[in-house]
Amino acid sequence: MYFLEIKIEHKDFLGRIRHWDNLKVAFETDTVWIRDFSSEQINSAEIHQIPYKIVYEAKENLLFEKGKLLPSKKLPSGLLWSPILRALPVSLPKFNHNYFGIDQRLKMNLKSSENVKPAFAMLVSFEELKLYIESAPKYRLEPLKWVVIDKRILLFGFPLLPVKGSTFWMNHDFLLPTGYDFEWFSLTGTFQEKLNPSKENLILWNEDNSYSVIPKETIKPLSISSFRLTFS
């Protein structure tokens, strides 16, 4: 049997699993406990995206943190279990995503994602683009825009050019490597508010979790003449 433990001040995040009416909930001082997960539920994206949680597997009344071999604690005794629909009211207090206390910080890490989105941008070298653009037909370049970043060229638009490069997809004003998403993807809007409140920039995210800020006003239409003028 699986159990989920979360501090009561973070119970707002449980709203995303409230519709799983097979679950039971119990309260212990400042902690919320949830049980009766199926194996599919406990390994789902909904559970993965709940921050501040701890997931346990129960064996002989001992709780083993998921993925660990040694027990962490005993299951508290005397818990009163109620159906999740009854224990969690429909209107939960709104959690302030913009506030993170000293012990409530979330790192903006990327992780591999099976939900691959269409590429919206491509980062290529100057040499690679030059080989193609010098003989490219005008209509092939017209749908695209570009900007120089870190001695490389970032292309935007559809369809992208048939050249070698790293591709990115768009989420809010973040450009994320294709095949990746934020570990806490449900908080992407919050990350946007923290890093780009004016929405005047695009933020290019790298697989090593570094990023570059690109002012939108620096992005221009792609053409042979603009390319030559920039690098003349």
- Mind listing the pLDDT tens digit for each residue in 17-63? 888 889 999 998 889 999 999 989 999 888 888 888 999 999 888 99
Q: Is 102 helix (H, G, I), strand (E, B) or coil?
A: coil
Quote the pLDDT of residue 49. 81
pLDDT tens profile 127-166: 999 999 988 888 999 999 999 987 899 999 989 999 999 9
C-alpha span between 191 and 105 (Å, rounded): 12
pLDDT at 103 over 70: no
Task: Show the tokens assigned to 56.
Answer: 């346990």
175-199 residue pLDDT tens:
999 999 887 776 777 778 888 888 8
pTM, full prediction:
0.57
For residue 69, the one-letter residue type is L
Structure tokens at 118: 């269409």
Which pLDDT score is estimated for 11?
A: 86
